[in-house]
Chains A and B, each alone.
Chain A
Amino acid sequence: MKTQFSVAKFDQKLQERWGEVMEEKKQCKGCGGALPFVIGFVAAVIAGWVLFPDLIYSKKTQPIRFSHKVHQEQGMECSSCHTFRDDGSYAGLPTNEKCMECHADVVGSDPDEAKYVEQYAKTGKEVPWLVYQYQPDNVIFSHKAHESFECKSCHPDMSKNDTPPVYYQNRLSGYSKQTMKMWQCERCHAENGVSNACHVCHK
C-alpha cells in the first residue's frame, strides 16, 4: 500500500515537474539570449589558445648554459663538434671526450664552464643534454642522407645563440615542442621527390 502511495506521489511530482519545465521555458523566452553562449565560446577559445599550451608543456633548461655563439666566435664550425663516424652514422651531440679536448680543465671564466668541468669532465659522467629536435625510438633519421642541406634548414640557427633556449616538453606525449612532426618530413620528401615509404623514416 505504502509503495503504491509513494508511486502515485512520485507520479504526481513528475507531472508537476513537467509543468514547471514548460513554465520555465515560457518565462525564459528572450531572457539571456545568446549571451551565455558567446561568453562560453570566448572563454573556451581563450583557455584553449592561452592556458592550454602552458598546461601541456613543461619547461626545462639545459644542464649547462652552453653558448654556441662563443664557440662559433672561436672559428668553430657545426661539424667541428657534430661529426660523422666512419660508418656514416651521425655522432650527434659531442661526448665528454670531444668537449674535454679543450675543457679538461677550466680555460675561461664562465661559471657554467667550471660547472661542466667539475660535474662532468672530472667525473666522466656524460652531460644529459636536452635535444630540441628529439625524435622517438620508432624514427630512424640519417644525417648522412641529408648532408647536402644546411643544418639550419631544419635546426634553429644556433650560431648566434648565447643562452640555450628553454626546452618545452609535452607532458602527455613526451616530445619536445620542436620535434619535427611527420607531416613536415613528408612534405619536404614530397617536394624533393624522395620516397615517403614508411621504412624510410621508421624502425
Chain B
Amino acid sequence: MKAKEFNIKWGMVIDLDKCTGCGACMTACQVENNIAPMVDASNKLRTLSWMLVYELSNKKAAPDAEIAYLPRPCMQCGNPACVPVCPVVATDKNEEGGIVSQIYPRCIGCRYCMAACPYHARYFNWEDPVFPKGMEKALSPNTSARPRGVVEKCNFCHTRLMKAKDKARQEGGNPEALADGAYMPACVEVCPTGAITFGDLKNPEHKVHELAKNENAFRLLEKLGLAPQVYYMSKREWVRKLGDNYAATGKAGAAKKHS
C-alpha cells in the first residue's frame, strides 16, 4: 500500500543531548490523557506509557560510561506498520498532519497493531481505569477514558490540535496553517529543557523543518522504512548508532529520506 502524502506533517525533533530523563513528559502525558495511576507501575509489561523514557547506555565501564535518555512517543510513521493490519479501521493515517489515529470505541482489542509496532508505542488496556477515590475529578477534558480491552497510543495530544484550529478560526486565522507553537502536545509544553521541538515538518516557518535536516538528526529504525515523523538528534555518535545502526545510509547523518 502506498503511503499517503500530506501537506502538513506534524513532527518532533527530540534533542537527546538536552533530555535529562526527568520524566516530566511522562507525568504530563498521563495527566493530559487520563491514564490511571498503576499500583504496581514497576511491572513495565503491563503499564501504560504513551510516552516512555528509555535509558540508553554506551555499555562502557566506568569512568567511560555514558548514558542518554530517549523519550519515545508514537512515531506517527509515514508508512506505519500498525495501520494496514487493523481489521476494523480503528487506527488510521488519513488526516492532514499525518497523525496516526487510534479510536477506542472502534477497537476490538485484537492487538495485531501491537505485534506490528517495533517501537512498542502501542498499549493495551489490561484493566479498566481505576483512579484513586476523588482523583477522577481531576480528569483532563482532552481524552476520553478508555475501557479495558482496547489499544491506545500517543496521538500528539490531537485534541490540542483541534482546539488550536478552533482558536485560529475564532481569531480569523487559517486553521490549516497554524503558527509555530500554536499547537503543541503536553510533553513538549512541559519539558523543562525544551528538548522536544514540535511543529510542521513541511512548513519552513516551523523550527522542526530545519532541525529535522540537521546532520545529527536521525530516526529510530530508519532501515525498516517506517518513515517516522519523530526525529532525534544527538552530537554523541554512540547515541545515533543506537538509534538506527546507520543501516539505511551506511554512515551517520548522511542524506535522510526526508519527506
Contacts and interface: CB of A to CB of B under 8 A. Distances in A.
Given a CB threshold of 8 Å, the question of whether A touches B is answered with: yes
Contact of B101 (A87, A89, A144, A202): A202
B168 A138 contact: no
Given A140-B159, A203-B144, A198 B168 contact: no
B94 A195 contact: yes
A87 B99 contact: no
Nearest to B156: A199
Interface of A: 84, 86-89, 136-138, 140, 142, 144-145, 147, 195-200, 202-203
Given A195-B94, A203-B142, A142 B105 contact: no
A88 B166 contact: yes
Dominant SS among interface residues on chain B:
loop
B167 A199 contact: no
A197 B171 CA distance: 25
B155 interface: yes
Interface in B230-252: none
B9 interface: no
A25 B104 CA distance: 54
A202 B103 contact: yes
Given A84-B170, A86-B170, A87-B163, 20 more contacts: A88-B163, A88-B170, A88-B171, A137-B145, A140-B159, A140-B162, A144-B169, A145-B169, A145-B175, A197-B92, A197-B101, A198-B89, A198-B91, A198-B101, A200-B95, A202-B101, A202-B104, A202-B105, A203-B143, A203-B158
15 contacts: A88-B166, A140-B162, A144-B170, A145-B166, A147-B169, A195-B94, A197-B101, A198-B91, A198-B101, A198-B102, A199-B101, A200-B95, A202-B101, A202-B105, A203-B162
B106 A142 contact: no
Contacts of A203: 142-144, 158-159, 162
A199 B170 contact: no
B209 interface: no
Interface string B97-134: 00101111110000000000000000000000000000
Interface in B126-165: 142-145, 155, 158-159, 162-163, 165
Contacts of A88: 163, 166-171
B215 interface: no
